Amino acid sequence: MSDSSSSSPSSVRTLVVVDEMILRAAIERRLMQEGHTAASVGGVREAVDLLQSELFDVVLCDLHMSAGDGTELLMWLGSYRPSIPVLVICEAMAPGMGNSYESGGSVRIVEKPIDLDKLVRMVEECGLREGFYGNDIEIELFDYVQMIALTGRDKSIIISTKVGVGRLWFEHGDISHVQFGEIRGENAFYALLGMEQGTFRETLFRPPPTRSVVRPSMHLLMEAARRKDEGLLGLSPEEVKRIEKEKIEREKAKKAAKKAAKEAAKLAAAAAAAAAEQPPAPRASAAAPARVGGAAPARAHGSAPARAHGSAPARAHGSAEPRRVRHGSPQLPDGR
């Protein structure tokens, strides 16, 4: 292993993983001439050991080496250092392989024979890898999505669950494509978040095969939080539609009942106001009932009957008292 440690603040630190000693030395020397820093190794195992102990901005890897397959290093980088751009050296590419990598992402192809000037430009295009990086940090998928949305990075992750494997792509911080089994797009994202258990890991970024998500990541996160609160997260789209339809119908019925109660209250208030505006009914006299049921009956059952059974009836059957005739006294013709 060789290490050219002289560097400037703008120099790109590159790890060269090539088993051909002459080619490895030529690449390292040319990068130094351009003011960059380089370290070189001849195998995958040495490269992994160096990546675990030092920071690099770019990795230049030969795909076919005698001391290990370059694809092994690519897989390790995808799992543990996915943010490091990789330049892959290969002699012949399979049909379509070049197009899949030329569209961008963390992996780019360098064909043999190598043009050193072009190689230096590609290293400089990758640039410095700014920021702090850590590994083996446990974080919830929900929080990870929020973090990527805030940083605006391009990422690709593989999510493993007990029912299957999903893939998620970020472009400029927003989710651009999600697939989980046969599900695609936003519904696939909600299905993944609804899984009770699982793991995820970053992979080397390559553009997604298609774009199935158009709304920003923050919108998806808020919708996922709403569904979780309402017990909808992880349900199928059909179940979500059915439950939400039932909820809407219940809300409509509740509003209708509330409206009917308000109308009934208004009618009752109007009736009470109308009754309050009517004049009071006239009251009966207090003296007349007193005489009818009071003194007059007392008199009828009191002295008047006593008189009726006494001398008063005798007078009632005649206009005057009967004349008294004195025995022995002659009566006058005129009755005197």
Give the CATH number of the domain where residue 81 resides.
3.40.50.2300
Both 57 and 158 in one domain: the answer is no
| Of the residues 201, 234, 267, the one at which a domain ends | 234
| Structure-model confidence comparison of residues 147 and 136, the more confident one | 147
**Domain assignment of residue 221, yes or no:** yes
Confidence at residue 137, expressed as pLDDT on a 0 to 100 scale:
66
Residue with the two structure tokens 């990758």:
126
pLDDT of residue 311: 47
Report pLDDT digits (tens) over 147-181.
999 989 899 999 999 889 999 999 999 999 999 99
One domain, residues 110 and 168: no
pLDDT of residue 300: 46
- 185: nearest Cα among 166, 206, 158: 166
For residue 258, being part of any structural domain is answered with: no
Q: Is residue 261 part of a domain?
A: no
- Same domain as 174, residue 65: no
**Confidence at 281, pLDDT banded by 50, 70, 90:** low
Q: Which residue has the tokens 């911080």?
A: 173
Asked if residue 122 is part of any domain, the answer here is yes
- CA–CA distance from 230 to each of 217, 250, 293 (Å)? 20, 15, 77
Are 25 and 118 found together in one domain? yes
Is pLDDT of 31 > 50?
Answer: yes
What is the identity of the amino acid at 280? P
For residue 179, the model assigns a pLDDT of 96
Q: Using pLDDT thresholds of 50, 70 and 90, give the confidence band for residue 3.
A: low
Q: Is 115 found in the same domain as 6?
A: yes
Residue 157: closest CA among 171, 146, 170, 140:
170
Number of domains comprising the chain: 2
291 band by pLDDT with thresholds 50, 70 and 90: low
Q: Do 108 and 17 share a structural domain?
A: yes
Indicate if 103 and 165 belong to the same structural domain: no
43 and 106 share one domain = yes
Domain boundary among 165, 200, 234: 234
H/E stretch holding 160: strand 155-161
Look at residue 326 in the predicted model and tell me its pLDDT.
53
Longest dimension (CA), the chain: 198
Check pLDDT > 50 for residue 316: no
Average pLDDT of the chain to the nearest whole number: 80
Q: How far apart are CA 225 and CA 219, in angstroms?
A: 10
Is 28 a domain residue?
A: yes
- Residue that finishes a domain, picked among 72, 91, 126: 126
Band of pLDDT at residue 140, cut at 50, 70 and 90:
confident
Residue 268 lies in a domain: no
pLDDT at residue 199 tops 70:
yes
pLDDT (mean) for 228-237: 85
Q: How far is CA 172 from the centre of its chain?
A: 23
Residue 272 has pLDDT above 70, yes or no: yes
Percent of the chain with pLDDT over 90: 38
Tell me, yes or no, whether 214 lies in a domain: yes
pTM over 0.75? The answer is no
**pLDDT score of 234:** 80
CB 61 within 8 A of CB 14: no
Check residue 1 and give its pLDDT: 65
Same domain? For 120 and 160 the reply is no
- CA atoms of 189 and 208, how far apart (whole Å): 15
CB 159 within 8 A of CB 167: yes
Confidence of residue 306 (pLDDT cuts 50, 70, 90): very low
Question: Could you tell me if residue 151 is inside a domain?
Answer: yes
Backbone phi, then psi, for 62, in 5-degree steps? -80, 130
pLDDT tops 70 at residue 27? yes
* Residue numbers of the domain that contains 67: 2-126
Q: State residue 314's pLDDT score.
A: 47
Q: Which residue has the tokens 């290293």?
A: 123
